[in-house]
């Protein structure tokens, strides 16, 4: 519902890594900041998104 203006603190993001990790770290500000409207019921790995615990922004649910 708003714009993040801070570092997303992804687990292993690197512009040069062969396999960067785009999952949110435990202290990431993307955790719980998404909204259920238009969100898939599962993340890219098939993990359920839960509106009660908070929808994470991005492809992965923590």
pLDDT band at 2 (very low <50, low <70, confident <90, very high): low
What's residue 43's pLDDT?
A: 96
Residue 43 lies in a domain: yes
Residue 21 lies in a domain: no
Range of the domain at 43: 31-62
Write out the DSSP string of 4-60.
Answer: --S---EEE--SS-SS-EEEEPTT-TTTT---STT--SB-TTSPBP-TTT-PPSSS-
Residue 45 lies in a domain: yes
Residue 22 lies in a domain: no
Q: Is the pLDDT of residue 3 over 80?
A: no
Residue 18 lies in a domain: no
Residue 3 lies in a domain: no
Q: How many domains does the chain have?
A: 1
Is the pTM higher than 0.85? The answer reads no
Residue 9 lies in a domain: no
pLDDT digits (tens, 9 = 90+) for 25-56: 999 999 999 999 989 999 999 999 988 889 99
């Amino acid at each position: 519902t708003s714009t993040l203006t801070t570092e997303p603190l992804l687990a292993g993001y690197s512009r040069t890594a062969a396999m960067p990790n785009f999952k949110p770290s435990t202290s990431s500000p993307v955790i719980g900041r998404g909204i259920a409207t238009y969100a898939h019921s599962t993340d890219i790995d098939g993990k359920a998104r839960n509106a009660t615990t908070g929808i994470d922004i991005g492809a992965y649910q923590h």
